[in-house]
Amino acid sequence: MSFKPAITKFADLSVSDQDLVKGAWSAAKAAHAPYSKFYVGSVIEAQNKDGEVQRFSGCNIENASYGGAICAERTAAVKAVSEGFTKFLRISVVCATKPGGSPCGICRQFLREFGGLDLVVVSIQNEANDVCIWKFDDLLPDSFGPEALDF
């Protein structure tokens, strides 16, 4: 099954989405990627049980023991959840080294836990600032989520 994300220019994004992407660019500058040289940043907009909305940034952090690395998306997600913001609304992802791509498989499953199928993913795709916007259900169709465990 193939899907096509919405593609637009950065300049055509809402101010709120532009700020989300700018935050991800900023987060990428803090990445620790001495092995892959793949500097990724992410920002998650999340809501707590009281309805308060905040943004949490993250970068990828590599480790000489490769299994100890963590992606930018999960770094931002862990920060949000640890502060009580467990409903993810939107996420931006950028790679400062080579624009393009979307969250990896592990990140997709991790984000599914807190973002559900309506989570919006915004990603810069190339040097021309083309932006892809996905609904999460398109990135992880027929996914397994918390509701599957409700008895």
**What is the distance, to the nearest Å, from the Cα of residue 99 to the centroid of all Cα atoms in its chain?**
14
Q: What would the CATH number be for the domain defined by 6-141?
A: 3.40.140.10
Q: What is the pLDDT of residue 151?
A: 63
Q: Can 73 be counted among the known catalytic residues?
A: yes
Q: What is the mean pLDDT of residues 142-148?
A: 88
> Does position 1 have pLDDT exceeding 60, yes or no?
no
Q: pLDDT tens digits for 96-135?
A: 888 777 899 999 999 999 998 999 999 887 767 788 899 8
> Does position 84 have pLDDT exceeding 70, yes or no?
yes
What is d(CA 79, CA 118) in angstroms, rounded to the nearest whole number?
A: 21
Tokens of 146: 């918390």
Active-site residue identified among 45, 52, 62, 73: 73
- CB neighbour list of residue 51: distance below 8 Å, 6 or more residues apart: none
Helix (H) or strand (E) holding 78: helix 72-82
